[in-house]
Structure 1
């Protein structure tokens, strides 16, 4: 069982990308279910304001540090996490495993147009995985239909791109109705797979500046970025409180 690091009440896995991949592969082999949350400071702060969402995070099997701010927070409380695990990178590694092993994958979320561009690329880049199904993220009033689609797909991997908190809410609400599967919220990753949004170049990622690249692409995100200094301040307060 993985050790946990408490970041403002959110329990992050003390793990590397390779370790979590090995754990998930084993769960897939044994037809076990798992709920994965890829969390950044924005998600942590939201959970601190919304008790219901915090409860959903507590329901998750694995919460991984998708955000350099979380790594910084772990250092502030003197329990440094080993590395940042970008949700997109983890998803791509899981797609590669699915391709190698012929696993069944379901894609839920994003716009219909995004899926229309993404699915042919998935077929081209991962020809041996089985696309068990897909559905766009605008299904209000059709929740039962979508639930049945996912259930009938019997997927080994279900990627949910509804954005937080909706993707985690959907997974937590429906997980019990499925027999198996690794369920993972992956935000806007379908847009990158589809080619409608570019990911930061490797050089930017190496410098932990992926957040800045996204801000340049989407200037409307600037208000969301304001959460980081507040998060850092809270982490220092949290450390002082725990050291008393």
Structure 2
């Protein structure tokens, strides 16, 4: 069990630099271990706080990384600062880059059929040495073991699960016992960016930790989801004051 952890509403975040997190994931793959990775932002933490079953799933992960500046701010409010934000998309891209160098095998699960296909095509084009062991869209019957059996047969080093939370974490948790190896990581909306359907915030916005605001400008319909951030930070302040 990871010891360098910061608890926030019962979720234990790894407190490491981006490079150290990547090194740990690479070690999981090198040693052919099985690992469940959650990239958690304030929205996920707030959802987990109100859904005990989902919270227990996130708590069962081998690694929970702080995907969202709100998590880093919360850790500072609670006087237990996390080193840096580890963005899920950055982690995905770095794993693809390393996979290209190491010729890892990946499987991409999730998204609409056309989105999944576009993402696969772009990955194949940008990372030609990477081996795409297989892919499947996110619209399938969970009771049908076909997809799980297909992934097992493909024997991937990494399975990117883009079903959106809480589905992706639930799927990984329920199916992980059937696998003997592989890095299973929930990547949510990253598949839309990989497919070229959603543009990521420019570097300028990311450096200012305003990627969330850029996404809101580009996708105004996200405003209800964005309300989780002020509620989350408000809760952190209440916890601090209560102490």
Alignment pair present for 1:151 and 2:166: no
Contact 2:108 2:136 in 1 (8 A): yes
Corresponding residue for 1:100? 101
Which string of whole-angstrom CA distances, capped at 9 and with x for unpartnered residues, describes residues 130-152 of structure 1? 10000000002564111111111
Contact 1:32 1:181 in 2 (8 A): yes
Corresponding residue for 1:38? 39
Structure 1 runs of 4+ aligned residues shifted over 6 Å read none
Which string of whole-angstrom CA distances, capped at 9 and with x for unpartnered residues, describes residues 6-45 of structure 1? 1111100011110011111111111001111001111000
Tell me by how many angstroms 1:97 deviates: 0.7
Aligned residue runs from structure 1 range 43-192, under 5 A: 43-140=44-141, 143-192=144-193
**TM-score for the superposition, normalised by structure 2:** 0.97
**How far apart in 2 are the matches of 1:114 and 1:222?**
23
Supply the RMSD in Å over aligned alpha carbons.
1.1
Helix, strand or coil: the match of 2:84? coil
**How far apart in 2 are the matches of 1:126 and 1:33?**
24
Corresponding residue for 1:3? 4
Unpaired runs of at least 5, structure 1: none
Unpaired runs of at least 5, structure 2: none
Helix, strand or coil: the match of 2:183? strand
Contact 1:8 1:238 in 2 (8 A): no
**How far apart in 1 are the matches of 2:153 and 2:197?**
29
Helix, strand or coil: the match of 2:80? coil
**How far apart in 2 are the matches of 1:74 and 1:58?**
17
Tell me by how many angstroms 1:236 deviates: 1.5
**How far apart in 2 are the matches of 1:116 and 1:14?**
35
